[in-house]
Structure 1
Amino acid sequence: MNPFSNTRILNFELLIMSTRIRFLPDNVTVDAEVGEALLDVADRAGVLIPTGCLMGSCHACTVELEDGEIIRACLTSVPPGKDELTINVFSDPTW
């Protein structure tokens, strides 16, 4: 087994330091740094993601990624290895 077989993939992921984030349904796009908090990215883009507790327990900041994964934006940062990410912000009149 070659210990360097994944080197090319790992190096590629390290090169992607910026990710283009698209917020739906407003269709707002902004560039973000890997590791940047999603709430900060949304705020910079002028997209409102409701927050309550900022600890993930109230679920006010729940959003959906393009692959259907449900996450809490207050606990999530921009992941490495992606050049684009689409986030669907739910519209909840309660928040």
Structure 2
Amino acid sequence: MSVCIHFLPDDIQIKAEPGEPLLQVAARAGVTIPTGCLMGSCHACEVEIDGEESVCSCISAVPPGRSHLTINLYCDPTW
């Protein structure tokens, strides 16, 4: 069962499969998420999921059991 991913603030939607890496989904959608270490240590790729929790997109995947997921991108001008 695919998951509808909604990227904010760009208002872009794309279908993804559970377990698919968030960075890969973003790249397919044409959304750029800044990265640094690609290991979850630097938090450059931190995004907010459904307005509740923050995760590092470099080490996170589309969760199973969801039909829709909203990913809000942060913008840190100092990075």
Query: What TM-score range do you get, normalising by the shorter chain?
Result: over 0.9
One-letter identity of the residue aligned with 2:41: S
Q: Where in structure 2 are there 5+ consecutive unaligned residues?
A: none
In the alignment, what sits opposite 1:75? Answer: 59
Q: Where in structure 1 are there 5+ consecutive unaligned residues?
A: 1-16
Considering only aligned residues, what root-mean-square deviation do their CA atoms show, in Å?
Answer: 0.9
Instruction: Kindly indicate which of the two structures has a greater share of residues assigned to strand.
Output: 2
Which contiguous aligned blocks of 4+ residues in structure 1 show a shift greater than 2 angstroms? none
Which is greater in Rg? Answer: 1
Does 1:33 pair with 2:56?
no
Over the matched positions of the two proteins, sequence identity in percent amounts to 61
Instruction: Kindly indicate which of the two structures has a greater share of residues assigned to helix.
Output: 1
Q: Using structure 2 for the length normalisation, give the TM-score.
A: 0.95
